Amino acid sequence: MKVVILAGGFGTRISEESHLKPKPMIEIGEQPILWHIMKHYSQYGFNDFVICLGYKQYVVKEYFADYFLHTSDVTFDLAKNEMQVHNNYSEPWRVTLVDTGLHTMTGGRIKRIRDYIGDETFMLTYGDGVSNVDLDALVAFHKQHGKIATLTGVNIGQRFGVMDVDSDGHIREFREKNDDDGKIVNGGFMVLEPGVFDYIEGDDTVFEKAPLEQLAKDGQLMVYRHDGFWKCMDTQRDKMQLEQMWQEGNAPWKLWK
């Protein structure tokens, strides 16, 4: 099953660093948060990634093109124009990097990678959030209910899209938050059927608005409740908190060895 990661936004709320690189490339423990997200999926055997790029996409492409330089010891023989990589560990990843446009909205980015997905179920998440969500349980839940879309619901304040959920997991309404909300929010880590592409019009479509709202109205949107760790790196303060967790050896999203 392919994993699609949205990594093309401007990251304006963390502009202290995003003016130099895309937000998914901001580092936690000397590795981009994108790497942490991919390691999480890889721990569960999901190793085929499609990354939706936009803002400063070349930074992501250069990172993967020079992956060994970032993760291994290297000897350069300048006289012979040769490079030798020592103790290299190759991740079992297949990474497709797709230019989905500089100003394309989230729904438009998803629509643009349709040819890379085909007619298969796929996973989707954001390039700035880490969690210890059980991905096997998430996929099993999605397959069991047979609907088009499953979101991972986390109870973490009022910063993101809000869901009204009934007792059996059906999402009856999906909408943007307001100041009076205190409900489950969309934490990403989604599982989607290819039918979701029919709910997206084009580049200007914000996935979290009309598509998810219509899926909810059609009874095709479900939530997998996650009560464990989840955190979005939305601001510099968030970044510092994640960095502190990592440095103290208390990073709940680190499920790999």
Task: Give the pLDDT confidence of 116-134 residue by residue, as tens digits.
Answer: 999 999 999 999 999 999 9
For residue 210, give both structure tokens. 């009309």
26 neighbors 239 (Cβ within 8 angstroms)? yes
pLDDT surpassing 80 at residue 217: yes
**Looking at the domain assignment, is residue 107 inside a domain?**
yes
Rounded to the nearest 5 degrees, what angle is found at the Cα of 12, between the Cα atoms of 5 and 56?
55
Query: pLDDT value at position 183?
Result: 67
Q: Is residue 9 part of a domain?
A: yes
Give percent above pLDDT 70 in the chain. 94
Residue 166 belongs to a domain with what CATH number? 3.90.550.10
pLDDT at 87 over 80: no
Give the up-direction half-sphere exposure of residue 86: CA atoms within 13 A in the CB hemisphere. 4
- Name the domain count of the chain: 1
Please give the residue that has the higher pLDDT: either 180 or 37.
Answer: 37
- Confidence check: pLDDT of 165 > 90: no
What does 213-252 look like in DSSP terms, one character per residue? HHHHHTT-EEEEE--S-EEE--SHHHHHHHHHHHHTT--T
Whether 177 shows a pLDDT value over 90: the answer reads no
In a domain, 58, yes or no: yes
Residue 226: inside a domain: yes
Q: What is the DSSP letter of 183?
A: S
Q: Which residues contact 134 (CB under 8 A, 6 or more apart)?
A: 226
pLDDT, greater one: 6 or 169: 6
Q: Domain for residue 96, yes or no?
A: yes
Output the average pLDDT for the chain: 91
Residue 161 domain-assigned (yes or no): yes
- If we measure between CA atoms, which residue out of 129, 145, 144, 159 comes closest to residue 226? 129
* 156 within some domain: yes
pLDDT(241) > 60: yes
The answer to whether residue 39 is domain-embedded is yes
In the chain, the amino acid numbered 87 is: N
Q: Residue 125 belongs to what domain range? A: 2-247
Least confident of 156-170, 178-192, 199-213, 238-252: 156-170
The rounded percent of the chain whose pLDDT value lies above 90 is 75
SS3 (DSSP) at 255: coil
